[in-house]
Amino acid sequence: MNSSIAKIGDTLKTIRETTGAMDNFKNEWDKVLKKVTDNLASKIGPIHMRAPRPDEFDMTPEITDLDTITDEIAKMEHIVVLTGAGISVASNLPSFRGEGGFWTTRDKQEKVKASEFLTYTNFISYPEEIWHWHHELRKTVAMNNPNISHTCLADFQVFCEKSNRKFTMITQNIDGYHIEAYVKANKAIEQGLDKTFVTTSKDVEERKLSDLPQKQANGLEVVGNSYSKADDYEEKKLSDIERPSSSDFNKKYSICKEVYEIHGDINYMRCANNCSNKFFPAPEIGCSPDFVPKCPNCSSIARPHTLFFDENYLEAFYRSNSLLDEIQTMDCLIVIGTALETNLAANIVAQAITNKKLIIEINIDPVIKYGNVKYLLGQAEQIVPNLCELILAKFQTN
């Protein structure tokens, strides 16, 4: 009898400890979300957001696998994808927050964090230095390519659009790779290459994730042998890089209205004096490192079309309000390779949590700790192509 009572006592103690730990966890997460949403509200104005309350959630994240999650995603009517720097690592691009997130200033000869250096205040004081940073990164962007994750997501998006499913692509990256991949995917369809839809359901049945070859980090080798775009991705040379024509870049935003580049696009610039809301192609790759271009409209200084760290989101340039309207109908949010350290991205995730939508986080170290979250652990380029293939195969057989 006594031993039974002791056992019950131990069990109750364990339950109390577990509950206490869970409460602490929820309180901490609540604080983080509140900070994010308060900060956001002060920055982007009339968006009515609040941090979810801990008692609104009875779900905690769990690790999932491709087969399990594919069935769930395939049932969704509006899929939203949010990407961060992790998706472009395989295209050899540095992250703002990783090792490549530092910049050595020439006058002070010191290393500064990108988040402290890339500010509007600095742009006004040192436009040559800020443009120098952009020219360097543009060169890297131009010399590399969208990788297999960009391409598969673009195929996924185009397929959804052609089959009347709603798909919203949101990126925090400024490399323009999602749009480049999207334009290519659309061109492939126009040319009748519908098999660039990654694979057929038969292929998927025959292949297992563990059997797939690991792709190279630079995205030149593709997964499996049913993928037909490898030839598009040979290494670029500076002399081969095509400049966007003046008609192309203005079409871009109407062609790609479903791709939200919420922090801008390094391939474009606009008037720093706000004489208009027009975008213009950034200067030639390989221009003088300190070259500060002028606005083609009014000849005042031009600025990169990228959001500086001390700036607010504006609808005219980043379509932030349109985006928040659009995600009202989302059923499912796929978050790829981001630490969610920017306000709008964190807001999108907070909305999904609040509305108890399915969230799939693809990351090496997941950051979403709360809500109906399923983790796919690993690098984007190892998971995204397989996930896209499986979902498309599911769509095609439904």
Does the footprint of Zn ion cover residue 271 (CB under 5 A)?
yes
Q: Which is nearer to Zn ion, 163 or 246 (CB)?
A: 246
Query: Contacts with Zn ion: how many residues (CB under 5 A)?
Result: 6
Q: Which is nearer to Zn ion, 169 or 271 (CB)?
A: 271
**Residues 44, 307 contacting (CB under 8 angstroms):** no
Candidate list 297, 312, 321, 396; residue touching Zn ion; CB under 5 A: 297
Q: Is the Cβ of residue 306 or residue 351 nearer to Zn ion in the bound state?
A: 306
- 47 vs 275, beta carbon nearer Zn ion: 275
CB closer to Zn ion out of 105 and 297 = 297
| Interacting residues with Zn ion between 26 and 65 (CB under 5 A) | none
**CB of residue 277 to Zn ion, shortest distance in Å:** 10
CB of 296 to Zn ion, least distance (A): 8
In the bound state with Zn ion, the residue whose beta carbon lies nearer, of 148 and 295, is 295
First to last CA, the chain: 59
Report the alpha-carbon distance of residue 351 to residue 356 in Å, rounded: 8
Q: Closer CB to Zn ion, residue 142 or residue 272?
A: 272
Mark the segment that binds Zn ion (CB under 5 A) among 64-72, 174-182, 200-208, 296-304.
296-304
Which residue number, 215 or 303, has a Cβ lying nearer to Zn ion?
303
Of 27-35, 151-159, 248-256, 298-306, the window that binds Zn ion (rule: CB under 5 A) is 298-306
Q: How far is the CB of 125 from Zn ion (least distance, A)?
A: 20
* Residue from 40, 82, 295, 387 binding Zn ion (CB under 5 A): 295
Tokens 């292929």: give the residue: 203
We find the least distance from the C-beta atom of residue 271 to Zn ion, in angstroms, to be 3
Stretch that binds Zn ion, among 189-197, 263-271, 337-345, 388-396 (CB under 5 A): 263-271
Q: Is 336 in the site for Zn ion (CB under 5 A)?
A: no
Q: Which of residues 117-176 bind Zn ion (CB under 5 A)?
A: none
298 makes contact with Zn ion (CB under 5 A): yes
> Contact positions toward Zn ion, by CB under 5 A?
271, 273, 275, 295, 297-298
